[in-house]
Amino acid sequence: MKAAVTDGKGKVWVEDVPVPEVGPYQCLCRTLACATCTGTDTKHIFDKLPWEQKYPGLLGHESIGRVVECGPGVRNLAKGDLVLRPAAAYPGETHAGYTSMWGGFAEYGLVTDAAALKEACPDASPNPYTQFQLPVPEVAGVTPGDWTMIITLKECAGYVHTAGVGFDTSLLVLGAGAVGMSMCRHAKIFGAWPVIVVARRDEQLDYVRDVVGADFVINATRENVVERVREITAGAGVDRIIDTTGALEFAASCVPALNDAGRIAGYATYPRGSNLAEFVPAGRIVAARTGEVLTHQYLLDCVRLGLVKLSDFYSHVMPLEDIAHGFEMIWRKEAFKIVFTMGE
């Protein structure tokens, strides 16, 4: 099968690797699509994540596949089901000599019926990644590529909620990429006002205001973020800041935009050996978490009720063979999120 491989030195390419073998409580999925996670995938490609890794690795984690084969112990999945996050190899494991960097950019991947495994073997410890391998329904007008978007959207929904954003919360989102957009949309669904988004390019800001729903946008290249936030909030400042940029000094420079009780949450993955607490007083930081499993039904309902249009959250669709070119487009700011397809 074809799979995307990276060397950690800035290169990503497609290579032939063996199809993974199906265990008794696993299903083999034909991967239909996998989307870029711009921050994490780029850090894999350039070996910039906080933890050390071995290369070469199988890239990608925002995947969706259709079950084509079930192991004899599978009870809760069936052939034909659409399932999120099939992986050529699970985190902490290897496949054919390649390290797992979640392995979603591959023509085939495995999902595990963890519930059936635990029922049959109570002492078993499924790989923690299996908790994210959840089914999604067939919905008219929603493509497999669209469904890959709920992975980021679910993570962001949990993060916005646990950061303390709700009805009448004022929020400043740093960054207008796919994650920043997701944070903005959930904050609006949860009743936050005003939701202000900061970025450096007008085309991003126009999109996040006109399509995603930000109340105000700020271009940090020509506006003073703190002064503009104070102006928008009539001098009060905001209740929360969520940083999606990973730029620690920039995030710290925005802290004065908080009101006296305000807090900042750092969603971004920061450079190895660094963290937000080195730049911001501990009393100004709020811990938040993604909660992807808990928000699964919420996102399905958001799609069903029309609160979230999944196609709003990616910019391009390309075949897997073009993955190197696709990442170059992202790095040149010609795309903000790409769905790579592998077909039925």
Strands (E) in the chain, as ranges, are 2-6, 12-16, 26-35, 57-58, 62-70, 82-84, 94-95, 98-100, 108-112, 135-136, 171-174, 195-199, 216-219, 238-243, 258-266, 316-319, 338-341
The domain spans of the chain are 2-148+314-341, 151-284
Residue 13 has a CB neighbour count (10 Å cut-off) of: 14
Per-residue pLDDT for 271 more than 80? no
Parallel, antiparallel, or unpaired for β 82-84 and 62-70? Answer: antiparallel
* Fold match between domain 2-148+314-341 and domain 151-284: no
Q: Which fold has domain 2-148+314-341?
A: Quinone Oxidoreductase; Chain A, domain 1 (3.90.180)
Q: What angle do CA 189, 39, 332 make, to 5 degrees?
A: 105
**Average pLDDT of span 144-172:** 97
**Range with the poorest average pLDDT among 44-48, 148-152, 212-216:** 44-48
**Residue range 178-205, pLDDT digits in tens:** 999 999 999 999 999 999 999 999 999 9
Q: Does domain 151-284 have CATH number 3.40.50.10260?
A: no
Question: What percent of the chain clears pLDDT 70, i.e. is strictly above it?
Answer: 99
Q: Quote the pTM value.
A: 0.93
What pLDDT score was predicted for residue 274? Answer: 81
**Residue range 38-66, pLDDT digits in tens:** 888 998 999 988 788 899 999 999 999 99
**Residue range 305-320, pLDDT digits in tens:** 999 999 999 999 999 9
**Average pLDDT of span 156-163:** 97
Per-residue pLDDT for 216 more than 80? yes
**Average pLDDT of span 56-78:** 97
What pLDDT score was predicted for residue 268? Answer: 83
**What is the average pLDDT score of the chain?**
95
Q: Return the DSSP state at 172.
A: E
**Residue range 274-317, pLDDT digits in tens:** 888 889 999 999 999 998 899 999 999 999 999 999 999 999 99
> Closest by alpha carbon to 187, among 292, 291, 308?
308
165 in Cβ contact with 172 (< 8 Å)? no
Per-residue pLDDT for 222 more than 70? yes
What pLDDT score was predicted for residue 273? Answer: 74
Per-residue pLDDT for 71 more than 70? yes
82 in Cβ contact with 138 (< 8 Å)? yes
